[in-house]
Amino acid sequence: MQFNLKIRWGVSRGRDTAGYTTCSLYEFNEKIAACNGGGYDMKGTVLGDWIAKRFPNRLNQLKDEFYGLSFHDPNYKPGKAIVPGTGKTVEEAEKDGDSLGLDRYQAFYRASSKTPTKKHIIPQIDGACGVSSVTRVLEAIGGTINRVGETKNYEFYVVDINDNWKAPKRKSKVLCM
């Protein structure tokens, strides 16, 4: 399979984000992923989001851990988690004004898995850790990415996915980082 991707760079005109750099990924002229701000790998972020949305079945067959790749339980309720050291659930701490939302975020990530399990089936790729880490995940599911052109505000890529890819049979002894 071959996919033509377009990454568009711009500047936000939004009320609360005016002046922020924007990065959007398009497939067949449909926006699939977007982010804004800076200080992290924005291209890696949109590419990781695209891979996680487009290839969840392949990602769920991986046996190795990859930097930036995690799997989540779709039935997990972070609001029901106990905030360490308080004895309160996240929802109770938020209601009492003892939490500003970070506890919910931390509970969500504490409950994730670095490899897929029967419960952890929703892949998430933290592309902010770098486009090279995202590319390693893409290669692990039988893909390659090649930059084929650019203009002032756009970068163009071709992603090839091996149709004959087979899931790895066992974990390797080397962690990919």
Residue 146 counted as domain residue: yes
List the 30-37 sheet strands across, edge first. 30-37, 21-27, 2-11, 154-161, 143-150
Q: Which two tokens stand for residue 159?
A: 């992603």
Task: Tell me the pLDDT of the chain averaged across its residues.
Answer: 90
pLDDT at residue 174 greater than cutoff 50: no
pLDDT at site 167: 77
**pLDDT at position 60:** 95
Q: What is the pLDDT of residues 95-119, one digit of tens each?
A: 888 887 788 888 888 888 999 999 9
Question: Which tens digits make up the pLDDT trace of 48-87?
Answer: 999 999 999 999 999 999 999 999 999 999 889 888 888 8
The count of domains in the chain is: 1
**Quick one: pLDDT at residue 69?**
95
* pLDDT reported for residue 27: 95
Q: Is residue 145 part of a domain?
A: yes
Quote the distance between the C-alpha of residue 40 and its chain's center.
Answer: 13
Evaluate whether residue 79 is within a structural domain.
no
In three-state secondary structure terms, 40 is: coil
Mean of pLDDT values over 35-49: 92
Question: How confident is the model at residue 132, as a pLDDT?
Answer: 95
Judged against a pLDDT cut of 50, whether residue 166 lies above it is answered with yes
Is 40 within 8 Å of 50 (Cβ atoms)?
no
Q: Is 177 inside any structural domain?
A: no
| Residue 48: inside a domain | yes
* Chain centre distance of CA 53: 9
Q: Is the pLDDT of residue 176 over 80?
A: no
Cβ atoms 51, 68 nearer than 8 A:
no
Question: Above pLDDT 70, what percent of the chain?
Answer: 95
Structural domain boundaries, residue 144: 2-60+123-161
Q: Does residue 22 belong to any structural domain of this protein?
A: yes
The reported pLDDT for the residue numbered 163 is 87
Are residues 25 and 46 in contact, defined by beta-carbon separation less than 8 angstroms?
Answer: yes
pLDDT in tens, 113-156: 999 999 999 999 999 999 999 999 999 999 999 999 999 999 99
Q: Which residues contact residue 76 at a Cβ distance below 8 angstroms, ignoring those fewer than 6 apart?
A: 108, 111
**Does the residue 149 lie in any domain?**
yes
Q: Does residue 24 belong to any structural domain of this protein?
A: yes
Structural tokens at position 29:
């002229």
Determine the pLDDT at residue 156. 97
Q: Are 102 and 94 in contact (CB under 8 A)?
A: no
